[in-house]
Chain A
């Protein structure tokens, strides 16, 4: 959150005009890249330079792509180190409560990022603008793979692996397990069922087929509503429902 890692790794949508202007500056090292705006870097920029407008090896454009990839790698390393540091220094009760609330809201933010800008918004935008939906990662053909990877991360935090209990300090505790720990057995069951239904819809996405994308989005929306209306309250976490 503090590093704004999501923005620096995967700012969407890419600004091709800005990318062109930044490439014209011919950055030579990571210090030079510090002066390049986030909308012209990250995975979308790499995809553009490798698939949409491929750069030639040994050119300034290639140097730019290498530096952009290095920045993504550095950010991922920083995240890994920060998570390791967090795991080795447990928080006190007050900070843990705040962190837990942020975890739940980040999970929900991640779900909504997959459901709305990932799956459904391109469909709705195409319906109102005309033309075909513009899904992320289309140029590299990795749209479905990216959706599945995104969902797999959410799913691993949402429900417990069947028949296993996490060992304290050794594995992540799922949202389902937190619910069961608070005696919310019925809600935990409904949560698990909703996650499994969404999982089936996500697994059935073999391509960006409109009907299947809409179906998957609808199942993810059920999860959003369940989290906003029931699970958040059961876990005593504010979801930000005011307006």
Chain B
């Protein structure tokens, strides 16, 4: 059984009776990876490109100072990076690391950014999750990618919309290309910043909609309304969407034991029971090479793996585990003081603390 003291062990820990080497999936012939991430270093917030290889430490290749902490980011085919401020956010950035060119957009309508954005593949457009400061209702903003100016918006049909996903295959009656939105469901108010209020009013949901019009295809809810729906990933092997959850129960015991993963297969949206405490906080999620999902259980200092079919199979100790990514058949995970990937030894993150998410650059 894995404990909460990961710093004493830096090896893969297999739970008894489970499949062997669940972390070894994936090719490891890619000796170097470039990841785009944001971080805090010496009190400054920055976004940049990181080089991860077999050396002992992660190297900063490019960087740009940010006005406040960032959260979600996206790398385009031309290498352009889009960054959204952490909620309650008021800026967006388009940055080209190779040239250093940057475009800033400051929010000046009565909206706040909720930290995530999503490019529309075949258009010069990007979607942002937002909150109407007046009503507290969730909104999806449609913006031009080149200027980041808003050109449309529609309701998210819930409070606190967070991550989004474009569905890459039809699931049930929901067509490929549909926009999946994680409505976190937590009431917030601009006067109290990031605090969560009136949790008995929580109404988290997963919603499928047309990414260009906001037309709703369908909406799903878990039975437990205190499980906030936060981050999304698609597993092409099992053809499911994995949803990282964050528990908001009043009592500590319920939070500690709460599930941190739910899955949706086009029909059913259900939580995956947590064997052992995951401390009720799923910080990020990605598909697991070979099928299933990886979820960072940040407060339990672990990365949790599931196999196809959703059952939890293993936990990898990683202090303050959070940012996850899967690319070219390989997973990448970052914690407070080092990063891990399949087949690579630990790579130090000395001197800077990564934010919740990162993305494959090359």
Contact = CB atoms under 8 A, between A and B. Distances in A.
Interface of A: 1, 4, 6-7, 13, 38-39, 101-102, 105-106, 108-109, 112, 116-117, 120-121, 124-125, 128-129, 218, 221, 238-243
Interface of B: 43, 67-68, 71, 86-87, 90-91, 102, 104, 106, 108, 110, 115, 133-134, 162, 188-197, 228, 230, 246, 281, 283, 356
Contacts of B192: 1, 102, 105-106, 108-109, 240
B108 A13 contact: yes
B110 A39 contact: yes
Contacts of A1: 189, 191-192
A198 B230 CA distance: 36
A101 B356 CA distance: 26
A106 B196 contact: no
Given A243-B71, A243-B115, A243-B356, A6 B191 contact: yes
Contacts of B102: 128
Contacts, number: 69
A239 B194 contact: yes
A240 B195 contact: yes
A106 B194 contact: no
A240 B90 contact: no
B189 A241 contact: no
B134 A239 contact: no
B176 to A, nearest CB: 29
A207 to B, nearest CB: 22
Given A38-B134, A240-B196, A125 B191 contact: no
Nearest to A112: B193
A124 B86 CA distance: 16
Nearest to A2: B189
Contacts of B91: 124
Contact of A129 (B87, B106, B134): B106
Nearest to A38: B134
14 contacts: A4-B191, A105-B192, A106-B192, A108-B192, A108-B193, A109-B191, A109-B192, A117-B90, A124-B67, A128-B102, A129-B104, A218-B43, A242-B228, A243-B162
Nearest 6 CB-CB pairings of A with B: A105-B195, A124-B67, A240-B194, A128-B104, A240-B195, A105-B192
A218 B134 CA distance: 30
Contacts of B43: 218, 221
